[in-house]
Amino acid sequence: MHLRQAVGGIRENLRRYGLAAAAHDVGWRALNKIVDLSVLRGMTVRLQDVPDPRFFDAQGLDARFVGEDELARFAAAGAHDLCADFLREARARGDRCYALFDGEALAAYGWYSGVPTPIGHNFVLHFDGRYTYMYKGYTVPAYRGRRLHAVGMCRALRAFSEEGRSGLISWVYSNNFASLQSVARMGYRIFGDVYLLRAAGSSFARATRGCSAYGFRVEARSSGAALARGSA
């Protein structure tokens, strides 16, 4: 069954994204049988980069920044990939959530930070303070297929731009081709990669040269010190 799924995934990547993308995905999956290696594709978008005004259309939904108290009921129910511990940590950092509601129902959300932010349990992402870091985007299954993730990001981008921020900064895994295609349509521009490695109980991170202009680097969370600051 696993082999059949893997072959099906390869065929789908070939059909939708081409030979180079399919080979990239196969290579990283094979390598991760040996070591825990990830590649984050760093990217930014400014308000003027958004190519289509329809990306700001909330489609009749209530789109706005939302507080922890309003999200607490979803976290208490264990719904929509939210939990109380995450909400507490996000509030302590001063992170903000931009959400889209269909009446009382939560349709989609994304989180935004202006300070170094954890990536999982092992790493912390640092970035140029002129930008706002977008992370943890989620669309409720019943609302998927309506580009609400992109709409929420664009509306949040407009709000942060009005507050004087340069734009949004974010990342996508290098083999998440659907997301890479989606953010490219929205106007994101890739500037470099960060390689994350977990081996023998240690964490390592290395950023490519293009990341330096955006202060985009990752440090090991356990040590609080960068294990590799240089450019590749």
Express each pLDDT in 80-99 by its tens digit. 999 999 999 999 999 999 99
The pLDDT score that the predictor gives to residue 228 is 38
- How far is Cα 95 from Cα 88, in angstroms, rounded to an integer? 10
The pLDDT score that the predictor gives to residue 1 is 43
91 and 105 within one domain: yes
The pLDDT score that the predictor gives to residue 161 is 98
Q: Identify the residue with better confidence: 20 or 86.
A: 86
Mean pLDDT (whole number) for 10-29: 53
What is the residue range of 19's domain? Answer: 1-34
61 and 21 within one domain: no
Burial class from Cβ neighbours inside 10 Å (0-12, 13-18, 19+) for residue 151 reads buried
Domain CATH code at residue 149: 3.40.630.30
210 and 123 within one domain: yes
111 and 9 within one domain: no
- How far is Cα 168 from Cα 154, in angstroms, rounded to an integer? 9
The pLDDT score that the predictor gives to residue 3 is 42
2 and 91 within one domain: no
pLDDT in tens, 165-201: 999 999 999 989 989 999 999 999 999 999 999 887 8
- Report if residue 56 sits inside a domain: yes
- Report if residue 116 sits inside a domain: yes
- How far is Cα 79 from Cα 84, in angstroms, rounded to an integer? 11
- How far is Cα 158 from Cα 174, in angstroms, rounded to an integer? 27
- Report if residue 24 sits inside a domain: yes
pLDDT category, 11, cuts 50, 70, 90? low
146 alpha carbon, distance to own chain's centre: 18
pTM: 0.83
pLDDT category, 55, cuts 50, 70, 90? very high
Number of domains in the chain: 2
- How far is Cα 123 from Cα 171, in angstroms, rounded to an integer? 14
91 and 16 within one domain: no
